């Protein structure tokens, strides 16, 4: 199926292009950022060789909907969405940390806990927990923001401040915004029969000095959700939780001998598997947003995006 895994546009006033794991960001006259969500699939900080149909559209539409639903509690960079795969917003200088917040012992935190660690990013973890148990209160476990090809690394609040990565004054704002967004996200998830388990937020500073939310928010790439119904019973029985997140991709990769470590080969993703991942992302969208997913025309995604962005910029 037709996917978009790389872009090479040349928009009027274009100054530079930044290519992240999934998104490509075009700087227009140092005033606007045109962020294109591609269909690339990333896991363990490695980009998979095949794109996933509609994934970019899904991520972009979830992120932009949640930006609108949270802009009353935390300001964000978003101005408009001229295309299903595109968000346009203010130029920002990103902070070099990702603010990860966890309500439950899952994913990376659970793997570290199982390995015997009881301090994660400077935060002490309670004894006697089992995977997917709820923390007494949400914990913030930041990571460094890696450059292309490098792994994000766990880091403590103290190290972020003492190393001058973020000033103490700014970090307090990032912490407050992270907790406020997680609280709102938890409430929205609960209204849809879901539990927001953990997520990450990224922030930047606008040219006029404001700290704002950037990038994505509450998408299945950046967040983990459980189904609320049956959560307690599954925990009590020691069963795996029913979840909505990219974790199913990670588990498939682990089962096929890949965790992003040196010397490991990415397993082959045949057409049937790629199609199944696309269907799973659509399921994620419909559960998280609470409405049916409307597929955009993908007969020529590049041409469609270029036309929509040019029309917007020419306005």
The 10s digit of each residue's pLDDT in 51-91 is: 999 999 999 999 999 999 999 999 999 999 999 999 999 99
Q: What average pLDDT does the structure give for the chain?
A: 94
Query: Does residue 160 belong to any structural domain of this protein?
Result: yes
Integer Cα distance of 184 and 267 in angstroms: 38
Query: Does residue 114 belong to any structural domain of this protein?
Result: yes
CATH of the domain at 172: 3.30.470.20
Query: Does residue 176 belong to any structural domain of this protein?
Result: yes
Query: Does residue 232 belong to any structural domain of this protein?
Result: yes
Residues 192-234 pLDDT 10s: 999 999 999 999 999 999 999 998 999 988 899 999 999 999 9
Query: How much is the pTM?
Result: 0.88
Query: Does residue 262 belong to any structural domain of this protein?
Result: no
Nearest to residue 96, comparing CAs of 49, 145, 57? 145
Question: For the CA atoms of 94, 111, 239, 232, what is the dihedral angle to 10 degrees?
Answer: -50
Q: 142 lies in which domain range?
A: 95-203+223-245
Query: Does residue 164 belong to any structural domain of this protein?
Result: yes
Domains held by the chain: number: 1
Query: Does residue 199 belong to any structural domain of this protein?
Result: yes
Integer Cα distance of 225 and 286 in angstroms: 13
Query: Does residue 169 belong to any structural domain of this protein?
Result: yes
């Amino acid at each position: 199926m037709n996917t978009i895994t790389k872009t090479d546009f040349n928009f009027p006033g274009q100054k530079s292009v930044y290519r992240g794991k999934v998104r490509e960001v075009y700087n227009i006259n140092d005033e606007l950022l045109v962020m294109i969500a591609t269909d690339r699939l990333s896991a363990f900080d490695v980009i998979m060789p095949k794109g996933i149909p509609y994934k970019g559209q899904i991520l972009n539409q979830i992120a932009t909907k949640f930006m609108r639903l949270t802009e009353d509690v935390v300001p964000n960079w978003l101005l408009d969405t001229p295309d299903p795969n595109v968000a346009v917003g203010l130029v920002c200088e990103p902070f070099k940390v990702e603010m990860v917040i966890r309500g439950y012992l899952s994913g990376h935190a659970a793997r570290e806990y199982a390995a015997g660690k009881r301090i994660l990013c400077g935060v002490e973890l309670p004894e006697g927990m089992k995977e997917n148990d709820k923390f007494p209160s949400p914990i913030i476990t930041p990571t460094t923001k890696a450059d292309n090809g490098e792994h994000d690394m766990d880091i403590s609040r103290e190290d972020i401040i003492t190393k001058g990565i973020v000033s103490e004054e700014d970090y307090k704002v990032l912490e407050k915004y992270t907790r406020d967004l997680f609280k709102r996200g938890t409430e929205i998830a609960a209204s849809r029969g879901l539990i927001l388990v953990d997520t990450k937020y990224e922030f930047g500073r606008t040219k006029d000095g404001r700290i704002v939310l950037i990038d994505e928010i509450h998408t299945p790439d950046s967040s983990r959700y459980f189904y609320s119904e049956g959560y307690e019973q599954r925990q009590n029985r020691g069963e795996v939780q029913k979840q909505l997140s990219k974790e199913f991709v990670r588990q498939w990769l682990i089962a096929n001998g890949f965790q992003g470590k040196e010397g490991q080969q990415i397993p082959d993703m045949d057409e049937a598997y790629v199609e199944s991942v696309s269907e799973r992302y659509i399921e994620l969208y419909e559960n998280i947003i609470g409405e049916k997913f409307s597929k955009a025309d993908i007969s020529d995604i590049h041409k469609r995006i270029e036309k929509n962005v040019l029309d917007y910029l020419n306005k």
